[in-house]
Amino acid sequence: MTQLDTEASRTRLSSQAIDLRSDTVTVPDERMRSAMAQAVVGDDVYGEDATVNQLQAEAAELMGFEAGLFMPSGTMTNQVAIAVHTQRGQEVIVPEGAHVYEWELGMMATFSGVVPRFVPAPAGVPAPESVRAGVRRSIHQSPTGLIVLENTHNKAGGTVVPLEVIHGVREVANSEGIPLHLDGARVMNAAVALGVPLAEITRPFDSVSLCLSKGLGAPVGSVLVGSREFIGRAHRYRKMMGGGMRQAGMLAAAGLLALREGPARLTHDHRRARELAQALVNAGFSVDLSSVQTNMVYATVPGAQARVDAWSAQGVKANALGPDTVRFVLHHQITDEMLTRAIAVLGA
Ligand SMILES: *Cc1c(COP(=O)(O)O)cnc(C)c1O
């Protein structure tokens, strides 16, 4: 590269916003785009897209299940799972702040006819006893049709649900005869944080929903995994929701790369999240450092929206999620150099 070229690319980089709003903002690089362009495709509604089939098989295998089903979003994989597991008029036990209710627009009620029963979840982690206390058995109450856990727990700060809690909740589900679903949008982050194989976290569940378009870096897509019988029934609800995508292999090709190569990058996102959290504390903001376990940082910032607007004008984007709450999310397109520049802006 000539001196001028180098300068031009540096200028481009430094004029680009440092986007810490979410790990959904990553864009596919040249390699991913080329894998998408070259994907072998077919009509997936007929089950004939080889790339989609490959992605579904790899995702199922990785999480310890028989089968998988590719869908456009995590909202769809979660809501299809709820539809398959429940009957109208039932309750679904969810941890406080659960994405399946808070950020999925009442779909469990409008599509499946079920209502949430929130159980306390300090730092995103419900105690198995709280889950048991949430179970409804009386003829005078709506019976519990499903228990959902979220790992990592988004609203609690990307916190990890420990294995012993998962096993405790599994025992409750067994003894009550209730299925157990994992909203595992970021379960790969949990596996990396715990240093265990993904299947160790996912196998205790009856179904798991995993996002490819968050930290793993695909532009679109989520996978739902479960038994062959469960996935067979899920097909129908996916179609009802408009998720039958035909030549979806072009998207699945990106998902395959994300699934194979994304996990190795997450450990850097987690390290950078801790660095950012410490820098925010040093700059005088309040951050619960014990909640910074994966790729997110929630900071207490008085006048959050105005601060976020001011930072954005200086090229650093974050999300104001409440009057005094700002969320920062690390992802693989934030380099160490960008983090340093972001910290300089946030600390000024
Ligand atoms: C992002 C996310 C989802 C799915 O969201 P989509 O935007 O529909 O893909 C589900 N659960 C959690 C915890 C999430 O963070």
Give distance in angstroms: CA of 103 to centre of ligand 1: 8
The pLDDT confidence band at residue 334, using thresholds 50, 70 and 90, is very high
Name the band, by pLDDT with cuts 50, 70 and 90, for residue 16: confident
- The answer, yes or no, to whether residue 1 has pLDDT greater than 50, is no
User: Is residue 152 reached through a cis peptide bond, with omega within 30 degrees of 0 on the bond before it?
Assistant: yes
Q: How far is the CA of 172 from the centre of ligand 1 (A)?
A: 26
Per-residue pLDDT tens for 214-225? 999 999 999 999
Domain boundaries for CATH 3.40.640.10 within the chain: 31-261
The boundaries of every CATH 3.90.1150.10 domain in the chain are: 3-22+263-345
Query: What is residue 15's predicted lDDT score, i.e. its pLDDT?
Result: 54
Alpha helices in the chain (DSSP H): 3-15, 30-37, 50-63, 74-85, 99-102, 107-110, 128-134, 163-176, 187-194, 198-202, 228-240, 249-261, 263-282, 304-313, 336-347
Percent of the chain at pLDDT > 70 equals 96
pLDDT over 90 at 134, yes or no: yes
> Mean pLDDT throughout 28-45?
97
Q: Which class for 315: exposed (0-12), middle (13-18), buried (19 or more C-beta within 10 A)?
A: middle
Give the span between the Cα atoms of 131 and 121, in whole angstroms.
Answer: 10
**Nearest CA to 211 among 27, 47, 59?**
59
150-205 pLDDT, tens digit per residue, is 999 999 999 999 999 999 999 999 999 999 999 999 999 999 999 999 999 999 99
Local confidence band at 348 (pLDDT 50, 70, 90 cut-offs): confident
Section 135-141 average pLDDT: 95
Angle at which helix 263-282 crosses helix 336-347, to 10 degrees, equals 20
CATH fold of 31-261, please? Aspartate Aminotransferase; domain 2 (3.40.640)
The reported pLDDT for the residue numbered 112 is 98
pLDDT at site 5: 52
Which amino acid would we find at residue 187? V
H or E stretch covering 224: strand 222-226
Distance CA 203, CA 189 (A): 16
Q: Residue 94: what are its φ and ψ, rounded to 5°? A: -135, 150
CATH fold of 3-22+263-345? Aspartate Aminotransferase, domain 1 (3.90.1150)
Provide the pLDDT for residue 231: 98
**In angstroms, what is the span from residue 221 Cα to ligand 1's centroid?**
10
Return the minimum-mean-pLDDT range out of 8-22, 159-173, 181-195, 299-313: 8-22
pLDDT at 304 over 50: yes
Pocket of ligand 1 (CB under 6 A): 73-75, 78, 99, 150, 154, 183, 185, 211, 214, 222
Residue nearest to atom 2 of ligand 1 (CA): 185
309 confidence band (pLDDT: 50, 70, 90): very high
- pLDDT-derived band at 317 (thresholds 50, 70, 90) equals very high
Q: H helices of 72-134, where?
A: 74-85, 99-102, 107-110, 128-134
Query: To test ligand 1's pocket by mutation, which of 23, 71, 75 has the most ligand atoms within 8 angstroms of CB?
Result: 75
Amino acid 12: pLDDT: 46
Distance (Å) of CA 264 to CA 305, 332, 333: 34, 10, 14
- 88 HSE (CA, 13 A, CB side): 3
- Say whether pLDDT at 96 is over 70: yes
pTM of the model: 0.95
Confidence of residue 236 (pLDDT cuts 50, 70, 90): very high
Per residue in 247-288, pLDDT (tens digit) is: 999 999 999 999 999 999 999 999 999 999 999 999 999 999
Q: Write out 298-335 in H/E/C secondary structure.
A: EEECCCHHHHHHHHHHCCEECEEEECCEEEEECCCCCC
* Mean pLDDT of all residues belonging to the chain: 95
For residue 104, the ligand 1 atom closest to its alpha carbon is 8
Residues 6 or more apart in contact with residue 90 via CB below 8 angstroms: 114, 142, 143, 144, 145, 146
Q: How far is the CA of 74 from the centre of ligand 1 (A)?
A: 5
